C-alpha cells in the first residue's frame, strides 16, 4: 500500500491507519459559516441510522395527533428516558406534537417498522392541527394504559411517556423553535409476536431508521459481541 500525497489547503488531514501513516483528502466545513459545496446537505447522512420516534399526542381539547421524528433516541434506562427534537414549524405554525406535549405533559412512542413505512411517511404530512393523522394515514389507534395519547395498534412496541423536560436549542429561524423534548417512560408495550425465547427479536420487528437525503434503512441482520474483559 503506497502513501497518498497530502493535498494542499484546509482539506488535507493526516490520518494514521494501522502501521501506516497516510494522507487522506477530507472535506471540512463550518456549518452555518461556510458552504459545504455538495449538491445536497450531507449533515443528516453523517449521523445515521437514526431511529424513528413515531410520537402520538392529544391536544388539551382532545384532538389526537401522530408524527414521525428521527431526531430521536433513548438517553437513560433507569428510569428510562427517551427524547425527540422538534425542528422548525409547519405552515400552520408550531408543530402540533411539541405544542400538545407542552399542554398535556404526555406522549407515546410507537416503533416504526418496515410493514408500517408508508403509513409512517403519510403521518408526516403537514396537515392542520385538527387532522387526526391516525385516520389520515389509515392507522388503527389502540388505547394506552396510563396516558391519554393512543399508540399505533399495528406497531409491536410502544412506550407511554410523561414529560420530563423541554430543552430549548439554538435556532437560525427566529420564528421557529428547535426543542429537545425528554420524557420518562412510564409504560412499555411489547407484542408477544416479536418475543423469541424471552428476547425482543428485531429481525421479526424490522425497525426502520432514517439516513440522509430521502434514504431509510431497515434492520434485517443482527450480530452480537461480548463486552471486553479487563484483567484476568
Ligand X SMILES: Cc1cc2nc3c(=O)[nH]c(=O)nc-3n(C[C@H](O)[C@H](O)[C@H](O)COP(=O)(O)O)c2cc1C
DSSP labels, 19-44 = TEEEEEE-----TTTS---SSS--GG
Residues numbered 26 to 45 that lie near ligand X (CB under 6 A) are none
* 107 in contact with ligand X (CB under 6 A): no
Separation between Cα atoms, residue 72 and residue 82, nearest integer Å: 8
Q: Single out the residue of 12, 63, 80, 87 in contact with ligand X (rule: CB under 6 A).
A: 87
Separation between Cα atoms, residue 3 and residue 22, nearest integer Å: 5
User: CB of residue 226 vs ligand X: minimum separation in angstroms?
Assistant: 33
* 54 in contact with ligand X (CB under 6 A): no
Please tell me whether the peptide bond between 49 and the residue prior to it is cis, using omega within 30 degrees of 0.
yes
CB-nearer residue toward ligand X: 101 or 194: 101
**Number of residues counted as binding ligand X (CB under 6 A):** 19
Scanning 13-21, 34-42, 81-89, 190-198 for contacts with ligand X by CB under 6 A, the matching segment is: 81-89
User: CB of residue 152 vs ligand X: minimum separation in angstroms?
Assistant: 14
CB-nearer residue toward ligand X: 59 or 191: 59
Q: Single out the residue of 29, 49, 81, 90 in contact with ligand X (rule: CB under 6 A).
A: 90
Scanning 1-9, 37-45, 87-95, 166-174 for contacts with ligand X by CB under 6 A, the matching segment is: 87-95
Separation between Cα atoms, residue 28 and residue 44, nearest integer Å: 15
CB-nearer residue toward ligand X: 98 or 185: 98
Separation between Cα atoms, residue 158 and residue 189, nearest integer Å: 5
* 159 in contact with ligand X (CB under 6 A): no
List strand residue ranges (DSSP E) for the chain, in order: 12-17, 20-25, 50-51, 53-58, 64-69, 72-77, 80-87, 89-90, 93-94, 106-111, 141-142, 151-152, 157-169, 178-190, 195-196, 199-200, 208-210, 216-218
* 151 in contact with ligand X (CB under 6 A): no
CA-nearest of 64, 57, 55 to 135 is 64
* 148 in contact with ligand X (CB under 6 A): no
Separation between Cα atoms, residue 98 and residue 186, nearest integer Å: 19
CB-nearer residue toward ligand X: 69 or 109: 69
Separation between Cα atoms, residue 90 and residue 129, nearest integer Å: 10
Q: How many CB atoms lie within 10 A of CB 220?
A: 9
Residues numbered 188 to 227 that lie near ligand X (CB under 6 A) are 210
CB-nearer residue toward ligand X: 91 or 198: 91
* 59 in contact with ligand X (CB under 6 A): no
User: Which parts of this chain interact with ligand X (CB under 6 A)?
Assistant: 52, 65, 67-71, 85-88, 90, 95-97, 121, 124, 126, 210
Amino acid at each position: 500500500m503506497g502513501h497518498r500525497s497530502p493535498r494542499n489547503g484546509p482539506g488535507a488531514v493526516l490520518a494514521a491507519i494501522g502501521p501506516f501513516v497516510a494522507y487522506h483528502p477530507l472535506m471540512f466545513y463550518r456549518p452555518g459559516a461556510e458552504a459545504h459545496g455538495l449538491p445536497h446537505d450531507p449533515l443528516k447522512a453523517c449521523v445515521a441510522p437514526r431511529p424513528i420516534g413515531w410520537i402520538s399526542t392529544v391536544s388539551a381539547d382532545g384532538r389526537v395527533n401522530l408524527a414521525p421524528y428521527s431526531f430521536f433516541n433513548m438517553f437513560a434506562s433507569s428510569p428510562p428516558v427517551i427524547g425527540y427534537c422538534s425542528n422548525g414549524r409547519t405552515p400552520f405554525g408550531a408543530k402540533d406534537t411539541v405544542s400538545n406535549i407542552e399542554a398535556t405533559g404526555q406522549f407515546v412512542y410507537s416503533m416504526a417498522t418496515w410493514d408500517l413505512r408508508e403509513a409512517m411517511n403519510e403521518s408526516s404530512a403537514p396537515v392542520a392541527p385538527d387532522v387526526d393523522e391516525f385516520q389520515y394515514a389509515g392507522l388503527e389507534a389502540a388505547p394506552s394504559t396510563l396516558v391519554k395519547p393512543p399508540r399505533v395498534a399495528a406497531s409491536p412496541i410502544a412506550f407511554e411517556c410523561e414529560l420530563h423536560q423541554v430543552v430549548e436549542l439554538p435556532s437560525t429561524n427566529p420564528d421557529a423553535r428547535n426543542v429537545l423534548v425528554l420524557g420518562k417512560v412510564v409504560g412499555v408495550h411489547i407484542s408477544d409476536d416479536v418475543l423469541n425465547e424471552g428476547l425482543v427479536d428485531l429481525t421479526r420487528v424490522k425497525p426502520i431508521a432514517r439516513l440522509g437525503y430521502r434514504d431509510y434503512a431497515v434492520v434485517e441482520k443482527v450480530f452480537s459481541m461480548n463486552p471486553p474483559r479487563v484483567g484476568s
